[in-house]
């Protein structure tokens, strides 16, 4: 592997990790508030098709991205009404949301198959983009990639250093206590769920506008489920989530490169190489659980439990 190809590989890794990061960040906030939303895949697909359709119709990717965020939020709102206001079972509703999202996106997207669209433009930062190695690696991406990094920092700062973030965590750890202090548990959870929807929508928009600029049914190909696993993998901490998304994306890309180099990796068959991302994630998880990083592995105490105030 030459130095140039290393840079190229890393650029591809950044592209592979970004949709996972968006979706997982959203779900992290949702789960920290105590809600388990399994509908990420459906929300991502709806976001992808909306971004694509609006971009084709208005020739503006910015409008497409905005529409994707709104569409994801609307899907999440439906989930919220069912699980928060009507206290339906969160797991079942989330699964139903996924299936609904797959079907709805296929229906809406059926008229957009076969239409190519301009890929999101790469933002050139004067000065920084021309640096020899760091330029193409870090400063030659589109707006959504930078947004995902900013969102990671933003979510981390929000959860740990702001009062609303603390309220959100409190709601997730002990909803009854938070309610007795006077916080509106349902409202906090609604806002968290909406944020999750927006992020999933943005993740989907990245897929259909930048990663593979097209609409194809079920183009997320299971990334929503991987994002869900990454949230658990990260122990509900944004910093670890960032590492997890890049680890997963990185190993996925590396195994493709290993195959493509013609030599493979240690002579392992392609099917074993395909397993690598998942194996790597499990190994790291096991190491985290045992080693000196053993920290808060506990899920938010109220995760998945519906809130029914006594009053």
Partner 1 sequence: MRLHLSRRTFLAGTAAASSALALGRGVYAQEPLKVGFVYVGPIGDYGWTHGHELGRKAVVEHFGDKVATTYVENVAEGPDAERVIRQLASSGHGLVFTTSFGFMNPTVRVAKQFPQVKFEHATGYQTAPNLAVYNARFYEGRAVCGAIAGHMSQSGLCGYVASFPIPEVVMGINAFALAAQKVNPDFRVNVVWINSWYDPGKEGDAAKALIDQGADIISQHTDSPAPLQVAEQRGVHGFGQASDMAAYAPNAQLTAILDDWSEYYIQRVQAVLDDAWETHSIWYGLKEGMVKMAPYGDAVTDDARQAAEAVKEGIIAGTLHPFTGPIENQAGEVMIADGATATDDEMQKMDWWVEGVQA
Q: Please report, as ranges, the residues that interact with partner 1 according to CB under 8 A.
A: 5, 8-9, 12, 16, 106, 109-110, 113-116, 119, 207, 211-219, 221, 223, 252-253, 256-257, 259-263, 270-271, 274
Collapsed DSSP state (helix, strand, coil) of residue 292: coil
CA distance 84 to 76: 11
Q: Which long-range contacts (CB under 8 A, 24 or more apart) does 206-209 make?
A: 206/18, 206/19, 206/22, 206/144, 206/145, 206/148, 207/19, 207/44, 207/48, 208/48, 208/49, 208/51, 208/52, 209/51, 209/52, 209/55, 209/61, 209/64, 209/65, 209/117, 209/119, 209/120, 209/144
The nearer residue to partner 1, 31 or 41, going by C-beta atoms, is 41
The distance of closest approach from Cβ of residue 253 to partner 1 in the complex, given in angstroms and rounded to an integer, is: 6
The nearer residue to partner 1, 32 or 223, going by C-beta atoms, is 223
The distance of closest approach from Cβ of residue 194 to partner 1 in the complex, given in angstroms and rounded to an integer, is: 26
The nearer residue to partner 1, 196 or 277, going by C-beta atoms, is 277
CA distance 247 to 159: 23
- Token pair 């999101």 is found at 120
The nearer residue to partner 1, 262 or 292, going by C-beta atoms, is 262
- Token pair 């309610």 is found at 179
- Burial letters 158-188, b for 16+ CB under 10 A, else e: bbeeeeebebbbbbbbbbeebbeeebebbeb
Please say whether the beta carbons of 213 and 116 come within 8 A.
yes
The nearer residue to partner 1, 115 or 150, going by C-beta atoms, is 115
The nearer residue to partner 1, 18 or 33, going by C-beta atoms, is 18
The distance of closest approach from Cβ of residue 166 to partner 1 in the complex, given in angstroms and rounded to an integer, is: 37
The distance of closest approach from Cβ of residue 106 to partner 1 in the complex, given in angstroms and rounded to an integer, is: 6
Collapsed DSSP state (helix, strand, coil) of residue 59: coil
- Token pair 């999440």 is found at 76
The nearer residue to partner 1, 146 or 257, going by C-beta atoms, is 257
The distance of closest approach from Cβ of residue 59 to partner 1 in the complex, given in angstroms and rounded to an integer, is: 17
The distance of closest approach from Cβ of residue 113 to partner 1 in the complex, given in angstroms and rounded to an integer, is: 4
The distance of closest approach from Cβ of residue 260 to partner 1 in the complex, given in angstroms and rounded to an integer, is: 4
């Amino acid at each position: 592997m030459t130095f140039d190809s290393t840079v190229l590989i890393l650029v591809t890794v950044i592209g592979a990790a970004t949709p996972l990061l968006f979706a997982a960040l959203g779900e992290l906030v949702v789960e920290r508030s105590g809600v388990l939303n399994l509908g990420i895949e459906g929300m991502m697909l709806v976001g992808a098709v909306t971004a694509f359709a609006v971009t084709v119709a208005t020739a503006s990717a910015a409008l497409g991205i905005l529409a994707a965020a709104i569409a994801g939020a609307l899907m999440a709102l439906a989930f919220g009404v069912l699980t928060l206001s009507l206290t339906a079972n969160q797991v079942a509703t989330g699964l139903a949301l996924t299936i609904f999202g797959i079907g709805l996106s296929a229906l809406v997207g059926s008229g957009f198959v076969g239409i190519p669209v301009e890929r999101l433009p790469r933002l050139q930062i004067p000065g920084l983009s021309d640096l020899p190695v760091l330029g193409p690696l870090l400063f030659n991406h589109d707006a959504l990639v930078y947004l995902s990094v900013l969102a990671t920092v933003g979510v981390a700062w929000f959860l740990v250093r702001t009062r609303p973030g603390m309220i959100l965590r409190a709601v997730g750890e002990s909803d009854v206590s938070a309610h007795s202090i006077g916080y509106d548990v349902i409202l906090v959870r609604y806002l968290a769920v909406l944020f999750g929807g927006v992020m999933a929508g943005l993740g989907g928009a990245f897929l259909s506008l930048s990663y593979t600029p097209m609409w194809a049914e079920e183009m997320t190909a299971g990334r929503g489920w991987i994002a869900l696993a990454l949230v658990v993998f990260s122990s509900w901490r944004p910093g670890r989530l960032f590492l997890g998304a890049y680890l997963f994306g990185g190993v996925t890309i590396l195994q493709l490169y290993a195959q493509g180099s013609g030599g493979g990796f240690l002579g392992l068959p392609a099917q074993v190489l395909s397993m690598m991302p998942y194996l790597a994630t499990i190994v790291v998880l096991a190491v985290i659980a045992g080693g000196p990083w053993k920290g808060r592995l506990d899920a938010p105490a109220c995760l998945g439990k519906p809130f029914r105030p006594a009053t």
